[in-house]
Amino acid sequence: MYRCYACIDVAVVGGGLSGTYAAWRLRNHNHSVHLFESSDRIGGRMHTLRLPDFDGINAELGALYYLPQRHRLLRTVIRALRLTPRDWRRPRQGPPTYYLRGRRLHTSDLNTYKLPYRLADGEKHRQPADLRRFLNLLNPIASREAINYLTDTAPWRGLMSNQNAAQLADIAQERDEAQYTLREGMDSVPVQLAKQFKNASVTHAVRLSRRLACMRRERGFYRLVLRKTVTNGQYTTDINDHEYACARKVILALPRGPLERLQWEPFSDETFQRKLRSVHKMPALVVYFVFSGKWWRGEDPPLTDVITDLPVRRVRYMGRSKYSGRHNSPRYLFMVASADSTDVDYFKTLLDVSVFDGLVKVSFRNSTRFIKDVKSQLAEVFRVNSNDIPWPSSVGLRHWGDGEDAAWHLWEKGVMWEKVSERMLRPHAQEQVFIVGSAYSAGANQFWAEGALQSVDSLMRTYFQNDV
Ligand SMILES: Cc1cc2nc3c(=O)[nH]c(=O)nc-3n(C[C@H](O)[C@H](O)[C@H](O)COP(=O)(O)OP(=O)(O)OC[C@H]3O[C@@H](n4cnc5c(N)ncnc54)[C@H](O)[C@@H]3O)c2cc1C
């Protein structure tokens, strides 16, 4: 015999951006809404490390920035929450430069003879975005070198990994348009949404460390089995305890991995499983180093923002700390790697991720090889001797795996994503179970936080019109 700790109208499962936004949209609904999150924090793939004395310059381990001109929903939510946008680019930093095949290149060099790629005649003298349009998204006549060139100049390698993803690539290509981040940290969006949702009614609740493990329909209700969990750093595991809840409607704000793990009978049918597999999961690794003093040549601070074909993929100066009582010189924050797909495999051979207990404290003894390797890549990009780069005073790192905690999702080649996306919203017409989140969102925003918000918008418009 089981006893539910609560019987509620709507269970929202997943405390990332889509789950908190769905709960927030339903906050003035006259009934009870509970939000369940498996880890001990709200935010999911929006995850901010806040550094003391850095005055609003954060190490974002998940979503880094948004494009205010294109991400309309996110911009509106940010305004509603009264958060403070901040230019992601450092003053005078400009667009990224490139370090490709051992050569430093500026954007203006990309369409010239200086390019170290042996492109076919029609492919030469084009910027990556132009070449992408010209090739009509990896059409079969593109030379291998053109594909290498496009992959190496994209901010994330995985964007070029299949044809559907290539539709996104143009959009994700760095352009000279505004890129904003938030002074309070990107994860303040889901955190504030959850707070406002909870404060809107005493019948609402946020339940952390509760993983929805299975569901069953019983007499017009969904019975949810919620496993209790513990979180250590980035790892969340079940403990031997659980509770039950019943809900009339369930919104699963979850990406592919957690949906695959969820036990619910209607999800076992092959048609649904095929839909689940229509996106693939991409791993990523984001690493920050804090240095206690200057070691590079030239300007202080450096204006570096370099996209490279080295495994670190992107090296970016983020900002420096204020002088504080404890430190009589500033400290410097660098994003020293933001890698995905095969580059993550490279680092996995160097890095025992399990030693990164928590997110910023690194057991230096156990991560020497990894830090040395990153330092030597930094040295190459900055043209200094690796020994001249000091050991970082702290390291922030998050490894997004290719399992439940994948970094992002890309439509598989040939998938008619408009249709799949629509059907995923409510996979079984006779059930009151819905799926939202960026993973199955339609179109080019699948890669962005905006996709998570758009999917919730579609859900509210289509199935909850009377509630919002
Ligand atoms: C490294 C990286 C860089 C990125 N860069 C950008 C960027 O610059 N700009 C941008 O706009 N977007 C970026 N994104 C993408 C953006 O972060 C995501 O699209 C967005 O945050 C996804 O939100 P979501 O709610 O769909 O999923 P998630 O954030 O994954 O939320 C799912 C939540 O569900 C929880 N959960 C899982 N299983 C269960 C369960 N069984 N029961 C209860 N809870 C469960 C998880 O712990 C998680 O909190 C980036 C992502 C990563 C990883």
Domains, the chain? 4-47+187-280+410-463 (3.50.50.60), 49-71+284-400 (3.90.660), 109-154 (no CATH)
DSSP string spanning 33-97? EEEE-SSSSS-TT--EE--TTSTT--EESS---B-TTT-HHHHHHHHHTT--EEESSPTT--S-E
The residue whose CA is least distant from atom 35 of ligand 1 is 14
Start-to-end Cα distance in the chain: 36
Verify cis geometry, omega within 30 degrees of 0, for the bond prior to 301: yes
DSSP string spanning 314-339? EEEEEEEPPP-SS-SS--EEEEEEEE
pLDDT tens track of the chain, all 468 residues?
Answer: 678 888 999 999 999 999 999 999 999 987 899 999 999 999 999 999 998 889 889 999 999 999 999 999 999 999 999 999 999 987 777 788 999 999 999 888 887 778 899 988 888 888 887 777 666 555 567 788 888 888 898 888 887 766 565 555 555 455 668 899 999 999 999 999 999 999 999 999 999 999 999 999 998 899 999 999 999 877 889 999 999 999 999 999 999 999 999 999 999 999 999 999 999 999 999 999 999 889 999 888 888 899 999 999 999 999 999 876 566 788 999 999 999 988 998 887 787 655 444 444 444 455 788 889 999 999 999 999 999 999 888 888 888 887 788 999 988 888 888 899 999 999 999 999 999 999 999 877 888 999 999 999 999 999 998 665
pLDDT of residue 89: 84
Whether residue 317 contacts residue 281, with contact meaning beta carbons closer than 8 Å, is answered with: no
Helix (H, G, I), strand (E, B) or coil at 45: coil
pLDDT of residue 316: 95
Alpha-carbon gap, residue 293 to 449, rounded angstroms: 35
Q: Which of 56, 46, 145, 25 is nearest to 450 (CA)?
A: 46
For helices 72-80 and 188-199, the axis angle rounded to 10 degrees is 60
Residues with Cβ within 8 Å of residue 298, at least 6 apart in sequence: none
C-alpha of residue 449 to centroid of ligand 1, in Å:
8
pLDDT of residue 362: 44
Alpha-carbon Rg of the chain, whole angstroms? 23
Residue 59 phi/psi, 5° resolution?
Answer: -100, 105
Whether residue 108 contacts residue 96, with contact meaning beta carbons closer than 8 Å, is answered with: no
C-alpha of residue 46 to centroid of ligand 1, in Å:
6
Alpha-carbon distance values, 351 to 333, 357, 363, 370, 374 (Å): 21, 13, 11, 6, 11
The residue whose CA is least distant from atom 23 of ligand 1 is 17
pLDDT of residue 364: 47
Alpha-carbon gap, residue 366 to 269, rounded angstroms: 45
Whether residue 19 contacts residue 251, with contact meaning beta carbons closer than 8 Å, is answered with: yes
C-alpha of residue 408 to centroid of ligand 1, in Å:
8
Find the residues whose C-beta lies inside 6 A of ligand 1.
13-19, 36-39, 44-46, 62-66, 211-212, 253-255, 258, 262, 284, 286, 400, 407-408, 437-438, 448-452
Q: Which of 356, 364, 388 is nearest to 375 (CA)?
A: 388
* DSSP 8-class letter at 66: B
**Which of 13, 40, 45, 267 is the best mutation target for the ligand 1 pocket, counting ligand atoms within 8 Å of the beta carbon and taking the most?**
45
C-alpha of residue 59 to centroid of ligand 1, in Å:
16
Residue 376, classified by CB atoms within 10 Å of its CB into exposed (0-12), middle (13-18) or buried (19+), is middle
Atom of ligand 1 at shortest range from CA of 455: 26
pLDDT of residue 74: 98
